[in-house]
Homo-oligomer: A and B are copies of this chain.
Amino acid sequence: MLLHLEFESNIPIYKQISNQIVVGIAKGDLVEGEELPSVRQMASDIGINMHTVNKAYGILKQAGWVTIHRKKGVLVSTNLKAQEDYLFLGALRDLLEVSIAEAFLRGIKKCEFTKLIEEKYNEFEGGIS
């Protein structure tokens, strides 16, 4: 899977990496058990420091998006750390509040917003159907 990094972005590189891997899993570009490049390999490919990749992998490992074996290397996983739905949705609500407020005040209709959500969901659901 190709990573598209923007080095002038205000989003940290390690966050861009971990984000795109999670999205890659949702899209089906990365499948359970698939091996990811080593920290040194990916760092070399991208042209960044090893520790930046290591931080991204550490975040993914922490959340359960990858498992790391001495033998097999870094493997894609969907064995997520348990988190109650209401906690996840609560955090999501907080995250979305400002964006929804801005959209509302800009005259974006409710259905336009939800349509955007549904389209992205379909991108993911299409990957496993």
Contacts and interface: CB of A to CB of B under 8 A. Distances in A.
Interface of A: 19, 22-23, 25-27, 78, 80, 83, 85, 88-89, 92-93, 95-106, 108, 110, 112-114, 116-118, 120-121, 124-125
A88 B103 contact: yes
A47 to B, nearest CB: 23
12 contacts: A22-B98, A22-B105, A26-B101, A26-B104, A78-B105, A80-B105, A88-B102, A92-B116, A96-B117, A110-B117, A114-B114, A114-B117
A103 B92 contact: yes
A85 to B, nearest CB: 7
B124 A101 contact: yes
